[in-house]
Chain A
């Protein structure tokens, strides 16, 4: 039992050791640069593992891009310059918030278009039942009227007795 517990601990701690080893730390000359590094590394997408930011990913390419990002920020590049540099090499794909225009137009417009389509469908469906309710109620035929009168009269007599 104790051996098992020790084994479990060993597994847990070894694992933790490995994952720590994969995260590199960068020294920044100012806290402002570090904040921008955080912001940009969460905006840039790892080209290899497509649903992770370069911040999240341990793919070699993500490590390289983090290193490059650090270098460029330390060299005084603006956010715009860094993004420009990355996009020139990896395409708009590398940004989680791609620039508006060209191929990304549809992507940006999609929410608005879908919302408008939804409103359109809603208005159509809401208008339809109201059209029905405004129709004149159909007249009772003579036979139906006679039956109704008979029923009402029956009800009256039932109440009086």
Chain B
């Protein structure tokens, strides 16, 4: 009888394999955790879009906020844009990192489609992008009040991503903030 049961071992192995493969179907290989999680936002000194002076790390930290990597050449950014406007309307601070883009095109884009950003860092050469480990656009970083990167989302931020991933983190980070 025992040897009969052993005949089911391959079936069992297959079932385990199938379980892993099924799990794999739901995973997105592009969703990689950033190497900079729980690391401070790197220092930088880059021009502001439409501004005269340079921006530095101090200009984007001090509150819980989003750092959104975008560019006019990025098609998905255009899809994401209306939702960023909505978030900004709800009072979420969003900082833009205009990544390897052309200034004039970027300014026109903001005039034409609306501006959800508190300010925009111009990263023409992608140097800050490199320090952040950006590998495409759009990417969105969640910063805490001390300027530490707490989460990175690769791809479009929409209602679903915000409600299920970003908003809970955002709210818990805000709760951490000392009352002034």
Contact = CB atoms under 8 A, between A and B. Distances in A.
Nearest to A92: B35
Interface string A49-63: 010000000001100
A23 interface: no
B29 A89 contact: no
Contacts of B33: 91
Interface residues of B, number: 16
A48 B136 CA distance: 7
Given A50-B29, A60-B100, A91 B136 contact: no
Contacts of A28: none
Interface stretch (B104-112, B126-134, B165-173): B126-134
A61 B136 contact: yes
A98 B119 CA distance: 38
Interface string B116-151: 000000000010001111111000000000000000
Nearest to B132: A89
A26 interface: no
Contacts of B132: 89
Contacts of A48: 135-136
A90 B34 CA distance: 7
B135 A61 contact: yes
Contact of A89 (B32, B36, B136): B36
Given A47-B135, A48-B136, A91-B133, A64 B126 contact: yes
Chain A interface mostly: helix
A47 B35 contact: no
Interface size class of A (residues with CB under 8 A): 10 to 19
A91 B34 contact: yes
Given A89-B132, A90-B133, A47 B32 contact: yes
B100 A91 contact: no
A88 B149 CA distance: 14
A64 B130 CA distance: 8
A48 B139 CA distance: 12
Contacts of A91: 32-35, 133
Contacts of B100: 60
Interface of B: 29-30, 32-36, 100, 126, 130-136
22 contacts: A47-B133, A47-B135, A48-B136, A50-B29, A50-B30, A60-B100, A61-B134, A61-B135, A64-B126, A64-B130, A87-B35, A88-B35, A89-B36, A89-B130, A89-B132, A89-B133, A90-B135, A91-B32, A91-B33, A91-B34, A91-B35, A93-B32
